Structure 1
Amino acid sequence: MVVRGIEYRWRESHGRAHTFERFREPGILETFDDARLTEEAGRHDYIFNRDHHAPGRERARSRAALDDISSLPEAERPEVLRRREWVGRFLALVEAGRAVRTHAGATEAIAVIAAELEAERLARLGEGGEGPKQRVDAHRESAEAECPPVRRPSSDGLLRWTRAFVRGGRDPLALRDRRHVSSGHHRRLDPGLERLVAGAADGYLSMERPTIDQCLFDLKIAVRAANVEREREGLRPFACPSKKVLTKAIGGMPKARVHAARYGAGSVENLKSNEDGFDVTWIGQRVEIDEWEVQVQAVLEKHGVWQRLDAEWRKSAGRVRLWACTALDTASRIVLAMSLSRTGNTAENAVSCLAMVVSDKTRLARWAGAQTAWDMSCVPTLIVTDGGAGFKSDAFKMAAAGLHANIKLPPAARPRGRPRVERFFRTLELHVGGRLPGRTFSNPVDRGDYDSAERAAILETVLRKILILSVVDSYHCRPHRGLRRETPIDAFERLDGTHGIGAEPGPTVRRNALGVDRICRTGPHGVGFLDLTYRSAALVRDFNQRGARDATVRVDAMDLGCVSVLIDGEWETCVCRDPGMQGTSLAVKIAADQDLRRRFKAKARVRESVVLDAIAKTKELVEAGVEQFGLGRLRPTAEQLDRIEAALASRYVPPWERGTHPTLEEVMADATPRGTPFTGGVVVGGIDEVDEETSPVGDGAGTADAVAGAGAAPPPSPPDDGRAEDGGDGDDGPVSDEYVEFEEDDDA
């Protein structure tokens, strides 16, 4: 029995438990129950062969140099089956007591067996029975070919076959003759000529990579030189072998040796078969990622300007070729991601491709005009890439580690390590490249007189849409030869229903693993990114403890609904205050802002005259106020600004909040302004800025320079009712040290 590549031999059984010993490691025993044997029997590598290690059967396999009767060459099968028929009938006669295993007994048995076989043959031909003839004469020749005449063996031959069959454990392999080990074949070529052919074949093993025809010319030259020597010695000249003989000699050499001699030792890796990574059964088990330069030149465009350019200016526009970083699921052949960029082998494009693998891409498909959804996503278990700089970068490795995915880098210059995605690129090139103007070619010979840059007529945005359409609506919906004519989208649904898909990482894990870091400023309203504000309870506590600071913010370009802020070494999720940003990508946000900016700018031009009139009226009102009060200075001094800041930092408590009922005079005093901006005084919560004698309020007189200085008398204190204000003892105290609390409204 062979289980998972390990060969066992049976030792004993007790009920439903069976003990086996490892054949290559004697002494190591393992027990298998019926349930496990049934499970292992369903595997493709399970082998069970009764009495395989019996001494007789091992002797038969050694004699035949084969492990199984099914490996017997087809040309030898009729003879082995004929011997098996004769030996079986002879042993049946011996067991029945009608013959003995001697020369005389074998001779008698041969006559009996020959008569039986001839009667059976005639019966098959329709001549031995009493009924009507079953075959016509026209078919007699073909019938005799199917039932050849009986050939009798000699008594020595029958006894020799019988002994070999019995000693071989009654295995038909023991009846194979020894002609397969015979070396008595005749040489077709003279030994000297064979050496010349071998020398010409060795000339094929060169880094210059000569052709077989060139090696044949070298062989003819060598034969001609050898014939000159043979003529001097009186020998018959050699006839030059044909190209077929030389080709056979080259083909008989090891393929790896030929390839290493012609292409270098490192290229031998490409000849190895793919023995690992292709036994996949579920989605995401193996995901191949690679980059491909799109074989089409696109025209660069500038939004908002392209439509106004004439034909000459459009021809002078720049050309660009896109790089498609693509991820392909091996089990279903679904394209999980295609990140398009103007530059290749970059870490940004590789990480962007990995982010698309774990995201829903239906919005991108709808933008391109696709009818089929592109919602296929998964968390890959194994990621197979090439040796590009983007895939070797720390950013890509960290992103894969954040998703708990393993990365495998096949040897360099070995596309067989990721054959599925390489074949997909070829398919995409055939389906797309031949239909678009401006396509490129692999070499100048294939290109011919085709001018790719001159014939480029596809805008970059249009090319991106065409590539997405080719994947979502064309490739996913076509029968795939590797899936036995099943479409990739049907295979994805089938595997999803059978094995399921691993749970999605969620927006937080995806953002922390694949996001982009930015430095943003925190404040009392939260942290800002673009024109959006994000906040959380952890950010409130951080602001109350540290105040405003620069913080690291990680943003997911696929979802601006939340960001992650690094606080004390941990990523804290902050939610956008605009609920409409949930699930909105950065590209959608930028496009919407550009559209709004264009529309608002057009409306602003219409209302520009209204704004100018408002500014003019404001200037007139200011000038009228200055003339009314006779003021000439509107700029406050530094000392006044210091007092204003101190006053704004204190808390003013009106009389009706002091615990006593205010009088009419106190109410009027609080309602009366104690200063005006035109004199440098500012109304700030009950603090007197100017003197009553110099105040212009009431009599309209006074000068601009009559401003209370640092030595002015303090304002009268309110009556003391035994209660102190917050942060003081009843007088104007120090600045309040209360924590700033975030409010839900915009006026916080």
Structure 2
Amino acid sequence: MLDFVKSAFAPRYTFENVDTIFIRGRQYRYISSHGDCHYFVPADGQGPREKYDNATIAEMLETGHFDHRPDREFNYLTELPPEMLSLLGDEEKRRGSEREAIVLAFLEKYQDGKVKRTDTSIREGMDSILGAAARMMRDYDTRATIRETVSPRSLRRWVSAYEKDGLAGLYDDVSQRGNYGRKLTEEQRFFMYSKLPGYLSELKKTPANIVKDVRNAFTAENAEREAAGREDLLKCPSRVTILAAIHHLSPFRVKLAREGVDEAMRAFSPVGEGIDVERPLQRVEMDEQKIDLVSLMEDSGLLQMMTHEEKAQLGLDGSIKRWWITVLLDVRTRCILGMTLSRTPSSKSGLRAVEMGMRDKGVWASAADAQDAWSQHGLMGTLVTDCGKQFVGHDFRTRLCDLGITLVHCPGARPWLKPYIERVFRTISSQLMPRLSGCTFGSILRKGSGKPEEKAALTVDELCTVLVRWIVDVYHNEPHEGLYKETPRDCWNRLTMQYGVTPPPSLRRRRLIFGEKLSRTLQKDGLTVAGVHYHSRALATHMLHNPDREMEIRYYPEDIGAIWVKIGTQWTEVFAVHRCFHGVSYQKWRMAHRELRAKHAKAAELKSRVVQQALDYIESLNADAMAKVGLVLDTIDAETIDRHECEAFIGFCVDDGCDEEPPQTNLGDFGTSLPTAEDTASVHANEAPRAPAEEISSDPPETIQFTDCQPANDDDDGEDDNFILQLRDK
């Protein structure tokens, strides 16, 4: 519809009281007009009087909100279908145009006095009338001819109808008369339609099979009648009649019966106005798909430090395998917000993609040497997924609820309800994968006799690099048909300048939401996870006044610099004792730990500066590989962390007596670690030479020390309870 702009002067409309008027779909009745305004009341009498000026009525007429139906309706339409003349068929229009030419030719000769309105005069002048009509039609269409033989009575009837109702009086419903179909008896129809359900089955019989079944049914019935001495034999319908009956079966029913409900819904589900979004991150779609590429998973520089079992778990042991890719897409701008690779789709791969969509992905773009930035991120409003088990799990839904994201599940086998993410996978398969060696082409027919397994040459790092470079430098910078030739990057930049995006949750909140649930025992040196100590004043106070030492924690593998601990009924953030772990991922710490174990095999405790040197070495040696592996989903859950602690971190810790400054100052008697007699001596080191540990430990300590044993149980006869009472008395 064209844009409407009110003109300075509008025509003055006129109405009659008997006219039928619809305003915004409701019927009204005209009352009166005063100057430029007209007054109407609802036809049902339920509502006040309304006033509209001519300019407003002109605008509503243009936008379809005003419908005026005069009382002088065409009476001849009462005997005809309620179509307009311009919508009638070509044959009806031809008949009407011939009659009009004949009528006009008669009226012309009648005015000249050459014919009269009598049957005798018309019959005598019929040849000249038809000749004049033919010449009149050829003036508009050189191929037009008069194909009707007209009787004087019919011509007089046409003239009367034309003078009364105009052109519409020459039209009739002759084309609707008669039944040109073959008439079948009830018995014939019964035997024919009794075999048609054979076409509506999973056997997928052909129409030729159904024709043969119908003929066999008639032959068998006639044989029974002949044996019974009956003479009323049935005549089998022709092949054309049977095929026509098959053709008139409901297409939806045919598709449903022959191919199943999913294919039927895919083919016949009605499409409305589609998905309407206005701003970035208003609607985000996520899905996973087996990547159409067989890649040879060789080891990168960082992965050399992994064990063979870990490589096999991730599919990085040199075997030829295929990956699942999980993609997060912003519908409004068509920007890809996140992408992860995993061996099998799971809720963790979905959560990793969601988390990636809320973070600036510059580290991945830099690792892949991309020319542009991958900065699209923010808190999404609605996330749309299918009903895969990885997306409908309670854990996945609760974490998205904590983020404030509305989760919408599309019904199964209804990909058209999230069409944009489906189109992205098709784009990846059609534009990117054919350029890579090892492409499986998505189907056996396209692959032909080729063997992509023999051509697989990409390592996991190269695969991640290709995907990131294609997203950042190619896909985001190509004109998009759905954006009217605007690139996704330009669309994102333009709309974010106009609307902005909601900031993602902070690191502290992400630790709680995306953290792994662990359980650890509180000791006098705090909590230990993977060889890293965590302590705070709140933990020390809890240990003094509560016998429960089993603590529930949230461990965030992306940053092990702090954990969340449930102390009583409150969650408290507890930082690592040593600052060197702030901003360090669990994967990076494991690599550094292996490096430390190799160099310091006999040392049970290491200084924090030695640990910092190992972390710096790992980062400088494998920075790019570390970033690329961030796209690969490593299964780091509670069971994995527990197994790593038992296998690798047992008996390993970082020395608390480091040379660096403590992360918190002025904490009083309780700090990041509980004070001991040795700590007391170090405080007075400037006042007197440090005495041997034996002499210090023999003096009565002023600070509180905790025993290594757990709270009272059946074996200790309440010794710990007596010990705690003695502490309270002091």
Distance 1:305 1:78 in 2: 82
Q: Which residue in the other structure is 1:507 paired with?
A: 506
2:284 aligned to which of 283, 287, 304: 287
Matches within 5 A, 1:517-596: 517-519=516-518, 540=537, 543-544=540-541, 552-554=552-554, 566=566, 569=569, 586=585, 590-591=587-588, 594=591
Matches within 5 A, 1:466-481: 466-481=466-481
The answer to whether the 8 A contact 2:557-2:587 is kept is: no
The answer to whether the 8 A contact 1:351-1:514 is kept is: no
Matched to 2:284, the amino acid is V
Kindly state the Cα deviation for residue 187 of structure 1 after the two structures are TM-superposed: 2.5
Q: Which residue in the other structure is 2:405 paired with?
A: 405
Q: Which residue in the other structure is 1:317 paired with?
A: 318
Q: Which residue in the other structure is 2:199 paired with?
A: 204
In structure 2, relative to structure 1, the CA distance for the partners of 1:282 and 1:524 (3 Å cut) is: farther
Helix, strand or coil at the partner of 2:292: coil
Kindly state the Cα deviation for residue 322 of structure 1 after the two structures are TM-superposed: 1.5
Distance 1:178 1:385 in 2: 54
The answer to whether the 8 A contact 2:382-2:407 is kept is: yes
Distance 1:418 1:42 in 2: 37
Helix, strand or coil at the partner of 1:489: helix
1:47 aligned to which of 45, 52, 64: 64
The answer to whether the 8 A contact 1:300-1:319 is kept is: yes
Matches within 5 A, 1:206-605: 206-218=201-213, 240-241=238-239, 248-264=244-260, 268-270=264-266, 271-275=268-272, 278-304=275-301, 317-344=318-345, 346-440=346-440, 450-451=450-451, 453=453, 455-497=455-497, 500-507=499-506, 511=510, 514-519=513-518, 540=537, 543-544=540-541, 552-554=552-554, 566=566, 569=569, 586=585, 590-591=587-588, 594=591
Helix, strand or coil at the partner of 1:422: helix
Further displaced range: 246-255 or 76-85: 76-85
Kindly state the Cα deviation for residue 488 of structure 1 after the two structures are TM-superposed: 3.2
Matches within 5 A, 1:663-742: 681-682=695-696
Residues 494-535 of structure 1 show CA distances to partners (whole Å, capped at 9, x for unaligned) of 44455x243223325861674213547889999887688889
Q: Which residue in the other structure is 2:615 paired with?
A: none
In structure 2, relative to structure 1, the CA distance for the partners of 1:651 and 1:353 (3 Å cut) is: closer
Distance 1:274 1:489 in 2: 29
Kindly state the Cα deviation for residue 392 of structure 1 after the two structures are TM-superposed: 0.7
Matched to 1:291, the amino acid is E
In structure 2, relative to structure 1, the CA distance for the partners of 1:394 and 1:736 (3 Å cut) is: closer
Distance 1:545 1:527 in 2: 12
Kindly state the Cα deviation for residue 201 of structure 1 after the two structures are TM-superposed: 4.3
Kindly state the Cα deviation for residue 563 of structure 1 after the two structures are TM-superposed: 5.9
Residues matched between the structures, number: 575
The answer to whether the 8 A contact 1:326-1:338 is kept is: yes
Distance 1:32 1:493 in 2: 46
Q: Which residue in the other structure is 1:7 paired with?
A: 25
Distance 2:22 2:573 in 1: 54
Distance 1:534 1:82 in 2: 99
Residues 79-102 of structure 1 show CA distances to partners (whole Å, capped at 9, x for unaligned) of 6789999999x9xxxxxxxxxxxx
Residues 338-360 of structure 1 show CA distances to partners (whole Å, capped at 9, x for unaligned) of 2221122x111121122222222
Helix, strand or coil at the partner of 1:339: strand
In structure 2, relative to structure 1, the CA distance for the partners of 1:460 and 1:157 (3 Å cut) is: same
In structure 2, relative to structure 1, the CA distance for the partners of 1:248 and 1:361 (3 Å cut) is: farther
Distance 1:592 1:2 in 2: 74
Distance 1:554 1:453 in 2: 42
Kindly state the Cα deviation for residue 188 of structure 1 after the two structures are TM-superposed: 5.2
In structure 2, relative to structure 1, the CA distance for the partners of 1:122 and 1:479 (3 Å cut) is: same
Kindly state the Cα deviation for residue 425 of structure 1 after the two structures are TM-superposed: 1.9
In structure 2, relative to structure 1, the CA distance for the partners of 1:646 and 1:529 (3 Å cut) is: closer
Structure 1 gap ranges (5+): 91-102, 126-141, 166-171, 606-643, 657-669, 688-733, 739-748
Matched to 1:295, the amino acid is D
Residues 656-696 of structure 1 show CA distances to partners (whole Å, capped at 9, x for unaligned) of 9xxxxxxxxxxxxx9799x867xx64598899xxxxxxxxx
The answer to whether the 8 A contact 1:63-1:174 is kept is: no
Bigger relative CO (Cα 8 Å, ≥ 6 apart): 2
The answer to whether the 8 A contact 2:333-2:488 is kept is: yes
Residues 29-67 of structure 1 show CA distances to partners (whole Å, capped at 9, x for unaligned) of 797989x98999799xx6335224x66659787655447
TM-score, length of structure 2 as denominator length: 0.59
In structure 2, relative to structure 1, the CA distance for the partners of 1:281 and 1:143 (3 Å cut) is: same
Kindly state the Cα deviation for residue 213 of structure 1 after the two structures are TM-superposed: 4.0
In structure 2, relative to structure 1, the CA distance for the partners of 1:560 and 1:210 (3 Å cut) is: same
In structure 2, relative to structure 1, the CA distance for the partners of 1:305 and 1:529 (3 Å cut) is: closer
The answer to whether the 8 A contact 2:41-2:50 is kept is: yes
Distance 2:169 2:557 in 1: 73
Distance 2:427 2:450 in 1: 22
Further displaced range: 346-355 or 555-564: 555-564
Distance 1:512 1:17 in 2: 67
In structure 2, relative to structure 1, the CA distance for the partners of 1:228 and 1:364 (3 Å cut) is: same
Helix, strand or coil at the partner of 2:255: helix
Q: Which residue in the other structure is 1:718 paired with?
A: none
Matched to 2:198, the amino acid is G
Identity among equivalent positions (%) equals: 23
Helix, strand or coil at the partner of 1:51: strand
Helix, strand or coil at the partner of 1:322: strand
The answer to whether the 8 A contact 1:511-1:554 is kept is: no
Residues 208-260 of structure 1 show CA distances to partners (whole Å, capped at 9, x for unaligned) of 11233433444565677799999997999879535xx6554433222222122
Distance 2:455 2:598 in 1: 37
Distance 1:579 1:315 in 2: 33
Larger radius of gyration: 1
In structure 2, relative to structure 1, the CA distance for the partners of 1:672 and 1:382 (3 Å cut) is: closer
In structure 2, relative to structure 1, the CA distance for the partners of 1:683 and 1:438 (3 Å cut) is: closer
Helix, strand or coil at the partner of 1:185: coil
In structure 2, relative to structure 1, the CA distance for the partners of 1:255 and 1:398 (3 Å cut) is: same
Q: Which residue in the other structure is 2:142 paired with?
A: 144
Q: Which residue in the other structure is 1:185 paired with?
A: 179
Matched to 2:276, the amino acid is D
Matched to 1:10, the amino acid is Y
Kindly state the Cα deviation for residue 395 of structure 1 after the two structures are TM-superposed: 1.9
Distance 1:672 1:339 in 2: 58
Further displaced range: 331-340 or 481-490: 481-490
Aligned residues: CA RMSD: 6.2
Kindly state the Cα deviation for residue 393 of structure 1 after the two structures are TM-superposed: 0.9
Distance 2:88 2:251 in 1: 26
In structure 2, relative to structure 1, the CA distance for the partners of 1:316 and 1:322 (3 Å cut) is: closer
Residues 550-587 of structure 1 show CA distances to partners (whole Å, capped at 9, x for unaligned) of 655546566677765556655556778999988x673x
The answer to whether the 8 A contact 1:552-1:565 is kept is: yes
Distance 1:207 1:381 in 2: 43
Q: Which residue in the other structure is 1:98 paired with?
A: none
Kindly state the Cα deviation for residue 389 of structure 1 after the two structures are TM-superposed: 1.0
Distance 1:76 1:580 in 2: 90
Kindly state the Cα deviation for residue 269 of structure 1 after the two structures are TM-superposed: 3.5
